[in-house]
A = this chain, B = another copy of it.
């Protein structure tokens, strides 16, 4: 189970590397491609299926000049063929000429494919500072 967790952690890092490099091919390699995959960018509605998700990354990468992540509080729960990761993303981005720093909370779910762990869900949302802060 420990090895599984290490592999999942690596798959999670791979996803953020693809994100930081604004690399759609690497993003494609990090994800499963079935109809069952889902993605929620902060404030966006749910995207279902790889074609819609791929298009969203293309659109985000096209409007982003630079993106730097600090990923913290990475927590992994694994089962045989599915794993759930939560983490916080501190994002320093330059979008349309403006620098912004954003705190995001992400749930990332992976499935074990023959080639290794692949993302099947990314749910990211802003931390606004609710009653629990």
Interface residues of A (CB under 8 A from B): 36, 38, 40-48, 52, 56, 59, 73, 75, 77, 79-84, 86, 88, 105, 107, 109, 111, 120-121, 123, 125-133
Q: How far does the alpha carbon of A38 sit from the alpha carbon of B132 in the complex, in Å?
A: 14
Contact between chains at A130 and B45 (CB < 8 Å): yes
A78 and chain B: residue at smallest CB distance = B82
B77 touches A79 (CB 8 A): no
Q: In the complex, are the beta carbons of A123 and B109 less than 8 A apart?
A: no
B86–A84 CB distance below 8 A: no
Are A45 and B105 touching (Cβ within 8 A)? yes
Please give, as numbers and ranges, the residues of chain B lying within 8 Å of A82 by CB-CB distance. 77, 79, 82-84
Determine the distance from Cα of A22 to Cα of B59 in the docked complex, in whole angstroms: 41
The closest CB in chain B to the CB of A55 belongs to B132
Are the C-beta atoms of A107 and B75 separated by less than 8 Å? Answer: no
Shortest C-beta distance, A102 to chain B (Å), equals: 13
Residues of B within 8 Å of A128, CB to CB, are 43-44
Taken together as a complex, chains A and B put the C-alpha atoms of A109 and B78 apart, in Å, by 12
